[in-house]
Amino acid sequence: MNGKEWSIQEIAKKAGTTSRTLRHYGELGLLVPSRIGSNGYRYYDQDALVRLQRVLLLRELGLSLPVIAEVLEGERDPAAALRTHLRLLEQERERIARQIASVRTTLHKTEEGAELMAEEVFDGFDHTRYEEEVSRRWGRAAYEKGDRWWRSLTDEQKQGFRREHDDIARDWGRARADGVAVDADMAQDIARRHVAWLSTTTTVGRSYVTGLGRMYVDDPRFAATYDEHGEGTAVFVRDALAVYAERHLTDEPATGGACAE
């Protein structure tokens, strides 16, 4: 990259943020200036711009700053990371385009008094927009395997499986209410138990766990399960699982299936 630099004020303006926020990112090690001038001003080169873009993109996904720091620390190929994020943004763009078309169709047919079709009304409004990110790693056969596993259990075994998750969910809620950090030992021990619970039905990998964590927040059905133990618990679970996955899991594909319940 060339030697062009921007001042902290220029970068803040172009990024739609504030100098104070950028300085805070610097204090956390998320965005270190390329140099500090004799006047004390901070300057940023193109490498810093690329890193700031990653920070802002990850923030839009809902990740907390400590988790973003973990993600960036684990990245060795910025271009590969950007390609992955570009693919996710393109998927989101496609989903929003389907929603726009759906609303336009509904509006037009409502005004014309025409009959509506459910497929048209709800196209793009599914809560599985991260499904490809997760399920591409184990496929439909794995889901079917998990479903067969669930159906093979006795009622008592199913109840025990649910109770174990309920205990974990309550512990997540208590940890969040007590102000425990997502990367603290207590939160990470709950994450370990959560991953072990998931491992009952599948061999989990990093992408599997982080993808499920996102769905715990983005799918209202999942979010309600955790947020009934305190508002914000689903976000806490997502961020703590992301830290655990980054520290302890690889990107080996899962070989089982997501739990049917």
Stretch(es) of the chain classified as CATH 1.10.1660.10: 6-73
Arch. (CATH architecture) of 6-73: Orthogonal Bundle (1.10)
pLDDT digits (tens, 9 = 90+) for 225-234: 888 888 899 9
Kindly state the tokens that stand for 173: 């809620």
Stretch(es) of the chain classified as CATH 1.10.490.50: 130-261
Question: Distance between CA atoms of 191 and 213, rounded to whole angstroms?
Answer: 11
Specify the pTM: 0.47
pLDDT digits (tens, 9 = 90+) for 181-219: 999 999 999 999 999 988 887 677 888 888 889 888 887
Kindly state the tokens that stand for 36: 């500090």
pLDDT digits (tens, 9 = 90+) for 103-113: 776 676 677 77
Higher pLDDT, 7 or 144: 7
What is the CATH code of the structural domain delimited by 130-261?
1.10.490.50
Sheet holding 42-44, edge to edge: 6-7, 42-44, 35-36
pLDDT digits (tens, 9 = 90+) for 23-56: 999 998 899 899 998 888 899 998 888 888 888 8
Helix axis angle, 8-15 to 46-60, nearest 10° = 40
